Amino acid sequence: MEKVAFAVASRAADNPRSGIREIFTLANDKAARGETVYKLMIGVPDARTPDTVIDGTIAALKAQKTQYTANAGITELREAIAGQVNRAHGLSVQADQVIVVPGAMAGLLFANFTIEPGNRILVPTPGYPNYKMQAGLTGLELLHYRLGIENGFQPDLDELEDLLKSDGAPVGAILINTPGNPTGTVFNKETISGIARLAEKHGVRIISDEVYKDIILDDGLEHISPARFAPDHTLLVGALSKKYSMTGMRVGFLIVPRHAIKDTDVLGEATISCAPSICQWGGVAALEGDQSQVAGYDLQYRQRRDAIVEILTAADMTFTRPNGAFYLMVDIGDAGLSSREFALQLLEENGVGVAFGSDFGPIDPAHPLYAECDRLVRIAFCSGSMDELEGGTKRLCEFYKERCA
């Protein structure tokens, strides 16, 4: 019998691959060959996971809490998450609105599943590349809104409204990400309340990716969720991944408006059953336990941000000083290279790994925002020593100057 190969659907086969992974793999290969590598390309904090989280997880394991939990997660964790967002961000979420998921990625996917396939989704550009991938998997059409470096990467509300009114399939959601990856920008209060008003006016949901909500780098600045202004239009996605340095434990959440609880309760059952039971208990320990190991944890990011900003300023580079998360975008547009070529050559010749801007842009190189993203590279400053960060940033500046000369 002749065997006939099956074809993988284009939503997976043709989905864009992660450029960050490409650089990450090359950087690791280089390091494995014994070469010096400055790893500024990936957003995985190298802080230790707090002991309370480790102990809480081990205790759950020893107590045999190893079976399925309710689809939406254990009550203790749902209550702890609701309590945390209410206290920290002035919301009035109840535990039954919280769906515990394996990381923010699953929360974003669930949020996409609430949109009719074929609808459009407004995504920040430059923005987290996985938004594009998930739209491809869930049958949504991408509509890019611009975050301009000259405007500190804040969106323009008029442009957003024009896009909401533009011809084409209905717009199902405005996705926002504040503090943002890759920009490090915290959207200001007027912007968030303006987006909330637009969502209510046009009857679209906001998917609010708040995975960096706890990482604010300037005094007097506050993380503001659109759920504060438009609770019935906001799907709030968060995770414990970054603050508690537990990215591999996969504890995230999706908070749905009250009116959507019943219609979304199938999502967990049909996909993941539940988030890993013992990690959920680790999550309870993270939120309810001793916070001393995370107290002032953002100080290290502030110090790292300040050091990089000083180097970039001294080298007269164009960039936006980030005030949240742990990323910074630098303009390398005059080097005469695409951002990918720049990143590959910088790694090969100077041993510095950075993420390239086109990875955060539209898939289609002919899209007007592609070229803008392609002028940028992203520095991640959440891991490595200060020497590594400073050395890598200086080398980046030198490499850029050489190429411009």
Ligand X SMILES: Cc1ncc(COP(=O)(O)O)c(C=O)c1O
Query: What is the binding site for ligand X (CB under 6 A)?
Result: 43, 103-105, 128, 177, 181, 209, 211, 239, 241, 247, 252
User: In terms of CB distance, is 102 or 391 closer to ligand X?
Assistant: 102
Check: CB of residue 120 under 8 Å from CB of residue 145: no
The rounded distance, in Å, linking the Cα atoms of 380 and 389 is 9
Closest CB to ligand X among residues 15, 247: 247
Q: How far apart are CA 128 and CA 361, in angstroms?
A: 9
CB of 190 to ligand X, least distance (A): 22
Is 152 within 8 Å of 320 (Cβ atoms)? yes
Nearer CB in complex with ligand X: 252/257: 252
- Shortest distance, position 128 Cβ to ligand X, whole Å: 4
CB of 237 to ligand X, least distance (A): 7
Query: C-beta of 254: minimal distance to ligand X in Å?
Result: 11
How many Cα neighbours within 13 Å face the side chain of 297? 22
Between 130 and 188, CB nearer to ligand X: 130
Give min distance, CB of 40 to ligand X, in A: 15
Question: DSSP letter string over 343-387?
Answer: HHHHHHHH-EE-EEGGGGS-SSTTSHHHHHHTTEEEEE-SSS-HH
Shortest Å distance, C-beta 301 to ligand X: 14
Query: Which residue, 107 or 333, has its beta carbon nearer to ligand X?
Result: 107
Look up tokens 């200001």; give the residue: 188
| Phi, psi torsion values for 378, nearest 5 degrees | -110, 130
Give the residue carrying structure tokens 């009550």: 75
Number of residues that make up the chain: 405
What is the number of the residue whose Cβ is closest to ligand X?
103
Question: In the bound complex, what is the minimum distance in angstroms from residue 275's beta carbon to ligand X?
Answer: 11
DSSP annotation of 312? H
Nearer to ligand X, 276 or 351 (CB): 276
Q: Toward ligand X, which CB reaches closer, 185 or 293?
A: 185
CA dist., res. 248 & res. 309, Å (int): 30
B/e letters for 178-210, b = 16+ CB within 10 Å, e = fewer, are bbbbbbbbbbbeebbbbbbbbbeeeebbbbbbb
